[in-house]
Amino acid sequence: MPTTHIHDAVRTPFGRAGGALSGVRPDDLAAVVMRATIERTGVDPARIADVIFGDANQAGEDNRNVARMGALLAGFPTSVPGVTVNRLCASSVESVIQGARAIESGDAEIILAGGVESMSRAPFVVEKSPKPWPATGNQTMWNTSIGWRMTNPALPGPWTVSNGEAAEKTARVNGITRDDQDAFAVRSHRLAAQAWADGVYAEETVQVPNAPLDRDEGIRPDSSMEKLATLRSLFAADGTVTAGNSSSINDGASAVLLAAEGVLEGEPLARITGRGAHGVDPDDFPIAPIEAANKALARAGRTWADVDLIELNEAFASQALACVRGWDVDPEIMNIHGGAIAIGHPLGASGGRIIGHAAHELRRRGGGVAVVAICIGVGQGLALVLER
């Protein structure tokens, strides 16, 4: 069976909601990283068997199969197909997994995977009345930037809580304090700022034309426990989850070039050796990556003792801390260059970012084993094992 190799990974800097990338359509953001991947590797785009991109919203300018639209905007031949997938926050991890399956089954030799999200440009949507011509009454308008909309009333109440309320539950059940969460957030900002200063992210990012953003817009190098302590809890009167120890609303795109062994010239960054998905009660979604990563390691024939590096998407500090405790690993090997609390979390693009960063870091180290994991609203987790 063919092995899937990662030959390159690139992303845009992640912009804040309403910030430097808010004027850029999501299909244009996708095109930027697609085009950059081809320019960086010299691969003839006509050789790409499929473009698989993740996108969590798909309610606005990204509604018309953003993978295909991005490929056309990037100038790829019309013979290159594209498909958009949705596993919410893990959409671009899902795109990589589907690409790897296509390669390993023999259906493809080269796949361009990734994801995109413009949370700034996510539209408002209005429910449509079941009556063709409603005579009276107002219709509900929903903001699609974030959160669960049009929830089915048949679902049990605990399963329809907000992600923030679930993060509060995770903190409470696991004994994770406000100070624990704020300290983790400060670490994320400090490490991300240092990584940019050291040039770590320069080789993994491409600037968006006509957008004045040369690094992640949400990083606060001056973040401190004292400053975070002034923020109020968001989801409970006596809660511990705040805007400061949670990921933000962001815009960005990421791409990962996958190929079967020996198909492309040049040494790949890493290879995919395991993957895992796991489901839990929706209000326990923050801890779903624990078992997802355990499954991925088992399928790779590895244990946590073999792992050198963890890239875990930081939806919330309580979620990240609960996962690292569940794995019983050294927290210092996780997110060594910061995470989503500082860098940002444009939903459909985040998975591609953490996969790409783990692959680039394995190359910089000259080898090793990395676990990439992400939590997903409505009670899921997804994980990959990368090796070099």
- Catalytic sites, residue numbers: 89, 345, 375
Instruction: Map residue 13 onto helix, strand or coil.
Output: coil
Q: What's the number of CA atoms in the CB half-sphere (13 Å) around residue 86?
A: 12
Measure CA of the first residue to CA of the last residue in the chain; give whole Å. 18
14 touches 344 (CB < 8 A):
yes
Closest CA to 276 of 152, 365, 371: 371
Cα distances (angstroms) measured from residue 79 to each of 31, 50, 68, 112: 16, 10, 11, 14
Task: Report the greatest alpha carbon distance in the chain.
Answer: 68
DSSP codes joined into one string, 41-104:
H---GGG--EEEEE-S--SSTTTTTHHHHHHHHTT--TTS-EEEE--GGGHHHHHHHHHHHHHH
